[in-house]
Amino acid sequence: MGRKRKEKDGIFDRIGEEVNLEKCPECSEHPDCFCHHNGKCTALNACGGQGCVFYKPTEKALEEGRAAYRKLKEAKRHDLIQRYIKAYTALGFLDEEIKAADKKIKEFEAFRHTDFRKLMTQVPGFS
Ligand code: SF4
């Protein structure tokens, strides 16, 4: 899920922010939480415990995030998409679009190296 980080070493949370796990509080209550990473909470300064109000299972958080991204796209709120692009990219919400853009770039590259003039001479009636 999401883009691979080739250029940086380090530990990143799910939205692509680098985290120092040594400074993160332990959270043993909700290992399925979206913010949970190696036994630590990457979002809060202090663990919220069993009744943590910020607890959200990862799948639910991803589902809600995808829905929010879709709504922003439908509303053409590119300003807000731009604001959260790093997180959306890290979460993999743009994977299909990035793949499609890569494909288009390859097609344009192939087209750029095509002898367009020679091809046009093969079209009947074109001189
Ligand atoms: S947000 Fe709350 S439940 Fe989730 S990892 Fe942090 S402390 Fe644990």
Residue nearest to atom 3 of ligand 1 (CA): 55
Q: How many CB atoms lie within 10 A of CB 43?
A: 21
Lookup: tokens for 105: 């770039």
pLDDT digits (tens, 9 = 90+) for 15-43: 888 999 999 999 999 999 999 999 999 99
pLDDT score of 1 more than 70: no
Spatial distance between the Cα atoms of 108 and 83, rounded to a whole number of angstroms: 29
C-beta 37 within 6 A of ligand 1: no
Which alpha helices (DSSP H) does the chain contain, by range?
58-74, 78-83, 85-90, 95-112, 116-121
Chain segment 42-84, per-residue pLDDT in tens: 999 999 999 999 999 999 999 999 999 999 999 999 999 999 9
44 lines ligand 1 (CB under 6 A): yes
24 lines ligand 1 (CB under 6 A): no
Interval between CA 97 and ligand 1 midpoint (Å): 31
Residue 14: predicted pLDDT: 86
* Residue of higher predicted confidence among 122 and 79: 79
